[in-house]
Amino acid sequence: MLALLLAGCADPTDGAPANDALAGAGAPLDIDTIGAENMEGPANLGIDASPEPGPDDARSVVAAYFDALSAGRYDDAFALWEPEAAGMDAEAFAAGFAEYRSYKAEIGVPGRVDAGAGQRYVTVPVRVTAVTVDDGETVTMVGPVTLHRSGAIDGATAAQRRWRIRDTALRPLPDGAAADPSADYACEDGPDFTASFDNDADTATIALAGEAPVVLAGQRPASGIWYAGEGWELRGKGRDATLTRPGEPPVECGTR
């Protein structure tokens, strides 16, 4: 059944993890109101009066998706996919998840929105911990969720201009997988931090003393490392790195 799950999700992470308490949430998900701010303008006007939705709105859709899966509301989760993108019908989709008695997700910081030809794409890193019904086996999967929407172009419907899931690339981690590599950085004019790198999920988790960890999505560096999301950015090469936090100037850091 795990093979079915991964194939159904097109080969196929602080976000608060979905928790078991969600399993008791029986209220159906109102798909049309997910990220209502994603609407780019009043439907009855020919202009866009509000900014385009950003990566935070996409992250809300991913959170709603995994919350629905955790609660067993598979039809609601399926409805957050783009039409035909899941590669199966709703019944097969539900069957792929029914073998799990719990399904929790840690949702990371979205990457930057890629725009071109009137289309928008963004990836959100996710780490899933699932427990099977039959034998209680714990399965950990990591990877990005890719979302798509249309921009403010002629002919785009309201539904097309909302974030919807285009693809997931969650891959199971092998048993006994090595711990994620990490590095401790000392900074000249800012707080020291530890960066943990998950190469499977293409993420970096930034941990500063007294603050919640932040998961950043991998970008496309010409060389070295580059992770970003929600005003955070980590760039580096060799022992040197530059860390930028929301509303703060970049600080130069080096491994200790």
pLDDT of 79 > 90? The answer is yes
Query: Which pLDDT tens digit goes with each residue over 126-174?
Result: 889 999 998 899 988 888 899 999 988 888 888 888 999 999 988 887 6
For residue 144, the tally of other CB atoms under 10 A from its CB is 25
β-bridge pairing 171-172 and 240-244: unpaired
The yes-or-no verdict on residue 73 having pLDDT over 80 is yes
Domains and CATH numbers, the chain: 2-172 (3.10.450.50), 182-255 (2.40.128)
Say if strands 171-172 and 138-150 run parallel, antiparallel, or are unpaired. Answer: antiparallel
What one-character-per-residue DSSP string does the chain give? Answer: -HHHHHHHTT----PPPP-GGGGG--SPP-GGGTTGGG--S-TTSSS--SPPP-HHHHHHHHHHHHHHHHTT-HHHHHTTBPTTTTSS-HHHHHHHHTTEEEEEEEE----PPEEETTEEEEEEEEEEEEEETTT--EEEEEEEEEEEEE-S-TT--TGGGS-EEEEE--EEPPTTPPPPPEEEEEESSS--EEEEEETTTTEEEEEETTS--EEEEE---SSSEEEEETTEEEEEETTEEEEE-TTS--EEEEE-
- Write down the pLDDT at residue 155: 83
What's the Rg (C-alpha) of the chain?
Answer: 19
Interval 13-60: pLDDT, tens: 444 443 333 333 444 555 444 444 444 444 444 445 556 778 889 999
For residues 71-98, b (16+ Cβ closer than 10 Å) or e, as one string? bbbbebbbbbbbeeebebeeeebbbbbe
Q: How far apart are the first and last CA of the chain?
A: 45
pLDDT in tens, 187-201: 988 889 999 888 778
CB neighbours of residue 186 within 10 Å: 12
User: Which pLDDT does position 177 carry in this prediction?
Assistant: 54
Kindly report, residue by residue over 204-236, the tens digit of the pLDDT. Answer: 899 998 888 899 988 888 878 999 988 899 999
From residue 186, alpha-carbon distances to 101, 180, 228, 242, 248 in Å are: 43, 20, 19, 11, 17
